[in-house]
Amino acid sequence: MDPIDIITAKRDGAELTRNQIDRVIAGYADGSGISDEQMAALCMAIVWRGMTRAEVAHWTEAMLRSGERLDLTGLDRPTTDKHSTGGVGDKITLPLTPAVVACGAAVPQLSGRGLGHTGGTLDKLESIPGWQADLSPERMREQLRDVGGAVCAAGAGLAPADRRLYALRDVTGTVESVPLIAASIMSKKLAEGTGALVLDVKVGSGAFMKDVESARELACAMVGIGTDHKVSTRALLTAMDAPLGRAVGNALEVEEALEVLAGGGPEDVVRLTVELGREMLEAAGLSGAKDPADALADGTAMDAWRAMVAAQGGDPDAPLPQAKERGEVLAPASGVLASVDAHAVGIAAWRLGAGRARKEDAVSPGAGVVLHAKPGEKVRAGRPLFTLHTDDPSRFRAAAEALTGAAELEPAGAKPLPLIIDRVESPTV
């Protein structure tokens, strides 16, 4: 089967067969006859021509077969997981996982590190002294059995074809393809072996998907993949035009997540934690179980958090790291805050040291931004609007520049998106 024939078929708008897709993915994963140039050409053809639902399902299955798949059968509770497409201040996994565990499910959460303006769950958790991200499949099963939840790094053996393909797409201008994005995300989530999956597809300036239509398209594609692979899958479209909560950074977000686990915390973080938790439990067949809101209120979610942290070597009682220096950005005028640009806040946190430009870069655990007002709240001229945290005061200027114009007072232009925009449970045909 000639790779050039496959490329030209997709270039001309043909639907690729299962055999053609298997040939491409297997050949690229093991280097047996599909070059980087040929795969880049095929990806560009997919960007322009798209893929059918059947093609996306076959593509995902081929990437799954390129590596191992975790076997989570035999646990004494159903498995369910959540995946977020990424945003600013998105610390939801931290309170959500223990809340769902406290309600009777097992949560195998394979997470990643941040890149650019979006934060990574592992970076946040690694700010806890002693906490370790790497778990073997055997250790993960043990922790799910003993504790009920595990948040850890995906091993190199899970969907290795996707790992190589994503690196190629990143340097060839072929990242922005809904079918390829959906297959990339779902190949890794399906490889972890969960029985149910809830997708949190972010929409807005701080998200990869800037508008509701493209986010809905991605959600439908991923729900379709999950459904085709016999995994109970659904999605929520949620707002990322403003940061989630008031803290953006690693240890800063852990501290805010602890407030939620203690029964407090910002209203938007609490609401999204509860709504996603309910979806996860329902998808796992536990709709009549304890409610996540009750688990946050009665302390059982906090108990599960402490057990999860300790199981991975962390000290749940240890003080979190703090940045050495703080600076303030003051409100230029008084009024009611109409909007806060999530992307601008994410860039500021990145410039302060909370994020990385390359995967191998280190992050500062204490760096980040704290918001003193959320949209709809009053601000006063000359009072702090943002507090900047960093170990390197030379970073303040660039971070403050990123925040120029990030906060708008009423009256302003577009109305903010509702926190939960839409729900997708059935894929498009």
Residues with catalytic roles = 83, 162, 169, 184, 188
Nearest to 59 by CA among 12, 10, 25, 15: 25
Distance CA 410, CA 425 (A): 36
Q: Which helix (H) or strand (E) holds 164?
A: helix 160-170
Q: What angle do CA 416, 418, 424 make, to 5 degrees?
A: 135
CA distances (Å), origin 125, targets 41, 93, 132: 38, 10, 8
Nearest to 342 by CA among 415, 239, 425, 254: 239
Instruction: Give the relative orientation of helices 3-11 and 18-30 as an angle to the nearest 10 degrees.
Output: 120
CA distance 270 to 264: 8
Say if residue 393 is preceded by a cis peptide, omega within 30 of 0: no
Q: Which of 389, 345, 394, 106 is nearest to 255 (CA)?
A: 389
What H or E segment, with its residue span, contains residue 232?
A: strand 232-239
